Every structure is written in structure tokens, then in C-alpha cells.
Chains A and B, each alone.
Chain A
Amino acid sequence: MNNFLPASPVAVPLTVAALLAAVNQHIPRRLADAAAFAASAWCVFACLVLMVRSSHGLIVYWMGGWQPRSGAAIGISLAIDPFGAGAAAFASFLVLVAFIFSAHYFDSIGTLFHVLMLAFLAAMCGFSLTGDMFNLFVFFELMSAAAFALCGYKTEESGPIQGALNFAITNTIGAFMALSGIGLLYGRTGALNMAQIGKSLGQTHDGLVVVAFVMITCGFLVKAAVVPFHFWLADAHAVAPTPVCVLFSGIMVELGIYAVARVYWTIFHGALAQFEAQTRAIFVTLGVLTAIVGAFMCFAQRHIKRLLAYSTISHTGLMLVAFAMLAHGALGGLALYVVGHGLLKGALFLSAGMLLHHLGSIDELKLRGKGREAIHSVGLMLFLALGLAGVPPYGTFMGEALIDSAAEKLHYSWVSYIFMLAGIITAAAVLRVAGRIYFGWGEDLDRSQQDEGETDEGRETSGGQDIPATMFVPTLVLLALGFAISFIPGIRGEVQLAGMRFMDQAAYQQQVLEHAAPPQYKVPPEESLVPGMIRGIVATILAFLVAGLVLLPHPLRHGIEDFSGGVSFVLRPLRILHSGHMGDYVAWLTAGVAVIGGLFAWFIH
């Protein structure tokens, strides 16, 4: 079992995927559903076991039995820690939910959907568990290949094709950028194992190390959709089939941040240790920018999935800020925040999917007042919006509280207001959608769409309009879990401990390369959650206020109308930048790398 368990989250879904591909179209749909369900359920189980076991020390698994020889790796290792295994478990869980949701959702084309989803799952697990730099790239590409195809699933429309193209091109460039960085590191150290590269680099921080760091980081930040690499995300998320959106927003984007953190602490931490303050400043700036741009763009949307996509961008910005604290408390908070956000965002996308299934549209303005019958989805949205604002006891609130207290110690306490701002605006946008659709509040704004892109999409479903339990229950489960994670006893201490393990570069190297015993850490004292609670509640109230201000009739209305006039007048330049033109996206990507690289070069030399 010990030989099987660590490899199984990759091996099992791949085997089942190949099996399903071989019998493509020759087996009943339900059998394919069952096989896919079983494979992803196994992954959830295996990754959870790995997570629990690795909480006492790294699980190092050498593929092919190739143990390192005198400190040099000759094979590929998995190096499993609680965060990696947790990310893989969460990814598997979301895949499981997506399979359940899609069982009665859309007509699958043979087993292709299952095959691609399972390959996607295996890639995400491998990506989270690996301890090898090139292997990370391989799984990054596998994840991308599956994601591109899934994104363009609805080939009968034009939107998905264009969204998938934008997604594919920008992400492929990001991958090549990361690969160039890996090449630089290999040229210096002659190693591909992360622990060995880190050990070999030691404290050197010359041009090569800085450039490799920036190239690899930017490559993964493209996946994480951080400004100015974020353009593809809204395009891809708005058009992908709903169950796929759950994975895109819930975990794939977050894995970009995970990879940056992983690479930073296994490879570059020693080299960049003396420049921690500068590194922190650069990433905090990027994160704050992302959070604000995402939040405002979110508020300016009427296509509900696109709105949710921009809210994801906003929240990844917050996640990058959390990473940038470079502290164990913030990392623990980040882990909780990722899970909390993933659950909420997954449930939000599923609600949007139900809306599309029920009412045949996903345009907020078209649906105005039509949501009386769709009380399921709208009611869910209402609850979920609270989570976006970070109201206790959602998981997002707990994560935020941990990040805030870590930030305070580093004299970055102002970032908690950014968290609040992003939470308020994104929650208000969702509340506005719910209010407009269910109550018919707000003016009837059905004007020309000349300066807007696609606002609607076709039904993904066929058959009746009633909502089967396979759609409603998974959404409810996600919502419930979003609450429940805050109540796991001792969770705050556990994630902080995991954060300490994650950050201990020397211990990581010794455990991977020399079979050393894991060090023990002390559980940090629990801090008061009261300030976090107050912030969460205030943010929620403000979110209601903002949504009400936009929707309800009152004298100030005309100043702040959301789709024309006030807000959108301010936002117009920002919206024009999101041009949908691939060339623009790539130009911004280059500019981003140049600026981030320039800043690092400036600070370090």
C-alpha cells in the first residue's frame, strides 16, 4: 500500500481515462459516469490519507525506485507535504462534484468529457505532489492540454472557441517562459530535483538566479491570472461548460499560486532571503493591483459567468498578497482561504449553471425579474455572496483572519482593507445579480450592446427545465462545506504548522536528499478572531449597502448607475483594455515580465 498510495492519484485516473477512451461510445453513459466517479473518489481518499500522514513530515517517493546517490537525484521524486496533498485532495473533490453535477447536466459526447476530466485531475494531482522541476512543467502542460480542450467543449458556438484560443496561447507562452527558467537553473546546477537545485544554488543571487526566478514565477502567474497576465481568465471562464468552470476557478488558478510558493521555498528562498522585504513589496503590489482591477471589472459585468470570473481574478490577487507575506501564518491562512474560496466559487458557478439550465440565459439584464421560479439558484447565490464578503463563519473569513494577523506583524496591516474592499465589491456584484434577477429591482436596462462583448450563451442542457437533485445537492454540499471548514477542531494550528513545514527549506532538502528525520515544530498560540469577525461583518453590511445603492430607487441613483453613467464611465478605460485581442494580451504579458524583472533587477543589484 505504501508503494501504491503516493503514486495512485496520478496513476489511477490516467488508467481509467485510457480505459474509457478505449471503450469510447460502446458503453452506456452511466457506466462511464460510475468509473469516473470511482476514480476521482479514490483520489480524494488517497490524497486525504497522504495529507494526514504527511503532517508529521515529508513523504518522499522515488519513482522507479531511483533513490538519490550521494545527494544527487537521478530519478523523479514526489515530495508530499500537507499543502500539496491538500491541494490534490481538494482538486479531486471538485472533480468529483463536477462529475455528479454533469451526470444530468449535458449530453456527453461518448466518453470524451470523462477522459479529459480525468486527465485534468491526474495532472492537477501530479502538479501538487511532485518534487521535480521538469515534472512540474510536464504536469503543467498536461493540465493545460486538458483544460484547453474542455474550455472549447461547446464547439457549436463562437465564444468558446475564441475563449479557448486566448486561454491556450497565453498559457502556452507562460509555460515556455517557465521552461526557459528551468533551463537556466539546469545550466547552473545540473539538477532538476527542487531540493537539489535549492541546495546547489545556496545563497547565490546573481543575474541567472534572479532571471530564472522571475521567468518561472511569471510563467505560473499566468496560470494564476495575476494582473497583467489575467486577461485570458475571464474569456475562458465565461465560455467553458459550467462543471469545468468549477475546476478552473476553484483550483486550477490557485495551483498557479501554489506553484509559485512551492518553487520559492524549495529553490529560491536561500538565494533571495536577504531581499525578503523587496520581494514582499513587489508581490504585494501585484496582488493589490489584481484584487482591485478584478473587483471593479467584476462589478461592471452583466454576463454572470464572466462576472464570477473577474471575482476569481480579484480573489487570486488576495491570495498572492497572502503568499507575499512570506510567513507561516499567512500561508496557513492562504490554504484555508483557497479551500473556502474554491467551495464558494464552485457553488456560485454551479448556481449560474442551474440558472442557465432553468431560464436559458446567463445575462443579468435579460433575466431581470424572471428569477421567481429559479429560487434555488438565486437563493444559493445570496448565501454565497456573503461568503465572498468573508462573513463569519465561512472558510474565507477564517483564512482572511489568519492572513490579516500575519500581515499586521509585518507592518502590512493595511492589506486587510484591500481584502475588505475586494470582498465588498465582488459580493455586492453577486448580490446585485440576485436582487435584479429575483426581485426585478433596478432599472430595466436593455440597451444596445455595442461596446460590450458577448453577454449571453446558449443552453448547455437538453431536456426538461426542472432541476434534478444531481445539480442541486452538490451545490448545497459545497456551500455547507464552505461553512464547515471553519469548525474543524484545531484547524488554525494545523495549517500554521503545515505552513512552517512548507517554508523550512533546509529540512525539505535533508528529507528529500538524505532521508533525514523531520524536525518538530511548536504549535503557535491561537490568536483572537474578533477583529476578523468585525471586519467580515462590516464588509458584509457594506456589500448589501452597495448592492442596494445600485438597485433600489433613491435620489442618488443616477450618479451611480452600474452599466452606464457613473461607475461605468470611470471603468470604461479599464474595460477597453480588456479588448479580447490576443495580441494585446501577449503584449501585456511581455510588459508584465519586463516590469517585474526590471523591479527585481533594480532591487537586487
Chain B
Amino acid sequence: MNRQARIALFIVSGLGFLCFYIWGLHGLPGFGHYPGPYGDIINSLTVYQRHATDAITAVNFDYRGFDTLGEEFILFTSVMGANLLLRKQKDDREQKRVVDRADDRVVPPTSDAVRVIGLALVLPIVVFGIYTIMHGQLTPGGGFQGGVILASMPLIIYLCGDYHAFEKVTSHVLSEIAEAIGAGGYAVVGLVSVALGYQYLTNFIPLGETGDVLSSGTILLISFLTGIEVAAGIVVLMISFFRQAFVYRKDGAEDGGKR
């Protein structure tokens, strides 16, 4: 189909689809009138059953922990997949001088202000990331959010330094191993519950005091593992994409040029 025919087909069918979809949406209870019961049951149970004050984390890592296992492995699989797709090809070599492959992209030199503020942020970011991971069961946060915060640390270093600085603070092998441990650890926690005679992914660690950092049993452990996995997974992704942009060049292509 040419462009006009394609757009015409889409507009006609898209409008039909829109009307149809709105017909269905019309049957929803009005905005702001959530009817329950799932959420209400969870809200009334989580503090008593799991000593967790953040119901969302409790749903994620306990009540619907099996979903989150799948989700973690989606992350894991995608990272592995991106790793595979962006791998070093047979005809690739690593160029010595690191230059962006997009030769028309002019990067202004990093100003001192960015450099100072960026470096000053590194430590607080790490602390905040760990804090977010460890307090997931109490207040908004948890492994996913904290992991992303942690992973922004090397990115800040790249922003206020350059690719070499980024390379120095990250390790591909270590990140890959950490990612695998985070993801595999989650699956293994489930297996431990089975070994103890419970159903898969049953909370088997004492729940502790409501409101304590060390509470909610496996929720905290899984949150921690997830944090490792997410942080490491995103770092692996960054390394893969950066290498494509900065390091790999085709045999015969000049350093610094387009590929």
C-alpha cells in the first residue's frame, strides 16, 4: 500500500476502533468510584498479615509475587536480549580513541558547575537508592524504584565526566553476574519456601515489628534482590548501548568516524 492508502485505511478503521472502545469504556464505573473488592481486601489485610505498611509493595512482592517473578525475568530476558543484539560482531573491532559514532553530534564541554554538582550527588544517590530499596515495605519505594535510582549513579558520572569515567566505575562482567544473582535469587527464594514445605514463594521469614526496617519477612529480601537485579540490569543495558556508540567500529572504518 502506498502512504495515502495506508493512512486512509487506518483513519477509517481507527475511528471504528475508537467508537467501539469508548462503547466499552462507557460501562466502567465512573472515575473515582472504584468498586472493589480486590484492593479493599488487600488494604484491610496487609498490615495484619504481612506487617507491611505499603500495600503496593506487599502486593508486588507477596500477594502477587509470582507476577513480579515474571516481571523480573522480563527485565532479565530483555537485558540478555539487548546484550545479544548489541554484541560485538566478528567484523567489529574496538577503536582506541573513544569518539561518538554520530559525527554530527557536537557535545559541548562539561561545565565545572555540572561537574561539581554531579560529583556531589553521587554519594547521596547511592544512599538514597539503598534507602528506597530497604524501606519498600514501609513507605513508597522498593526494589524497582531503588534499583533505578542506584543505576543512575554511573549515568551521572558519565554526564559530568566522559565515557572513560563511566567505564571505570562499571564492570560488564560483575553487573551481569549481579543481575543473574538478583533474578535467580528471587526464583530460589520461592524454591526455599517449597523446601520448607510451603507453596512456592510463601513468606517464610519472621515478619518482625510493623514499622521496623527489618520487617515483612521475604518482602524485604525479595525487594533487596530486585534492587540488585534492576540496578545491575540497567547498568548492563547502558554498557551495551554505550559500547555500540563509542567503542565498536567496523574493520577498516577509521577511528572516530561513522561506522
Q: Are A and B physically bound partners?
A: yes
**Given A115-B80, A187-B29: A135 and B184 within 8 A (CB)?**
no
Q: Are A65 and B20 in touch, CB under 8 angstroms?
A: no
Q: Which of B9, B77, B185 contacts A146 (CB 8 A)?
A: B77
Q: Which of B1, B62, B81, B90 contacts A145 (CB 8 A)?
A: B81
In the assembled complex, the CB of B220 is this many whole angstroms from the nearest CB of chain A, namely 15
Kindly list chain A residues whose C-beta atoms are within 8 Å of the C-beta of B163.
none
Which A residues between 193 and 231 are near B, CB-CB below 8 angstroms?
206-212, 214-215
A532 and B95 alpha carbons, distance in the complex (Å): 66
Closest to B27 in A: A208
A214 and B9 alpha carbons, distance in the complex (Å): 20
Q: Are A3 and B63 in touch, CB under 8 angstroms?
A: no
Over the window 130-158 of chain A, the binary record of Cβ atoms lying under 8 Å from chain B Cβ atoms (1 yes, 0 no) is 00101100110110011011101101100
Q: Which of B24, B181, B199 contacts A3 (CB 8 A)?
A: B199
Kindly list chain B residues whose C-beta atoms are within 8 Å of the C-beta of A142.
70, 73-74, 77
Over the window 1-32 of chain A, the binary record of Cβ atoms lying under 8 Å from chain B Cβ atoms (1 yes, 0 no) is 00110110011001101110110100000000
A595 at the interface (CB under 8 A from B): yes
A586 and B197 alpha carbons, distance in the complex (Å): 49
Closest to A61 in B: B199
Kindly list chain A residues whose C-beta atoms are within 8 Å of the C-beta of B185.
18
Which B residues between 181 and 200 are near A, CB-CB below 8 angstroms?
181, 183-185, 187-188, 190-191, 193-194, 197-200
- From A42-50, A118-126, A505-513, the one touching the partner chain is A118-126
A119 and B203 alpha carbons, distance in the complex (Å): 24
Q: Are A577 and B1 in touch, CB under 8 angstroms?
A: yes
A191 at the interface (CB under 8 A from B): yes
Kindly list chain B residues whose C-beta atoms are within 8 Å of the C-beta of A115.
77, 80
A144 and B36 alpha carbons, distance in the complex (Å): 31
A215 and B17 alpha carbons, distance in the complex (Å): 10
- From B37-45, B124-132, B148-156, the one touching the partner chain is B37-45
A469 at the interface (CB under 8 A from B): no
Q: Are A116 and B77 in touch, CB under 8 angstroms?
A: yes
Q: Are A208 and B83 in touch, CB under 8 angstroms?
A: no
A500 and B69 alpha carbons, distance in the complex (Å): 32
Kindly list chain A residues whose C-beta atoms are within 8 Å of the C-beta of B66.
63-64, 75-76, 135
Kindly list chain B residues whose C-beta atoms are within 8 Å of the C-beta of A112.
80, 83-84
B179 at the interface (CB under 8 A from A): yes
**Given A208-B26, A587-B13: A138 and B67 within 8 A (CB)?**
yes
Which B residues between 162 and 214 are near A, CB-CB below 8 angstroms?
176-177, 179-181, 183-185, 187-188, 190-191, 193-194, 197-203
A545 at the interface (CB under 8 A from B): no
In the assembled complex, the CB of A233 is this many whole angstroms from the nearest CB of chain B, namely 19
A413 at the interface (CB under 8 A from B): no
Q: Chain A contact residues: over half helix, strand or loop, or mixed?
A: helix
How many inter-chain contacts with C-beta < 8 Å in the A-B complex?
A: 238
B108 at the interface (CB under 8 A from A): no
Kindly list chain B residues whose C-beta atoms are within 8 Å of the C-beta of A180.
21
A190 at the interface (CB under 8 A from B): yes
Closest to A138 in B: B70
A473 at the interface (CB under 8 A from B): no
**Given A11-B187, A74-B38, A188-B28: A597 and B17 within 8 A (CB)?**
yes
Q: Are A590 and B80 in touch, CB under 8 angstroms?
A: no
Closest to A228 in B: B13
**Given A190-B35, A577-B1: A64 and B73 within 8 A (CB)?**
no
Q: Are A190 and B176 in touch, CB under 8 angstroms?
A: no
A581 and B63 alpha carbons, distance in the complex (Å): 43
22 CB-based A-B contacts, threshold 8 Å? A6-B200, A11-B200, A14-B69, A15-B191, A21-B180, A24-B180, A63-B200, A74-B45, A115-B77, A138-B74, A142-B77, A146-B81, A149-B78, A149-B84, A155-B84, A188-B35, A191-B38, A206-B27, A207-B27, A581-B1, A588-B9, A597-B16
Sample of 11 further A-B pairs with CB below 8 A, known A150-B81, A594-B13 = A18-B180, A75-B63, A138-B67, A155-B84, A184-B28, A190-B37, A190-B38, A209-B27, A587-B1, A593-B17, A593-B20
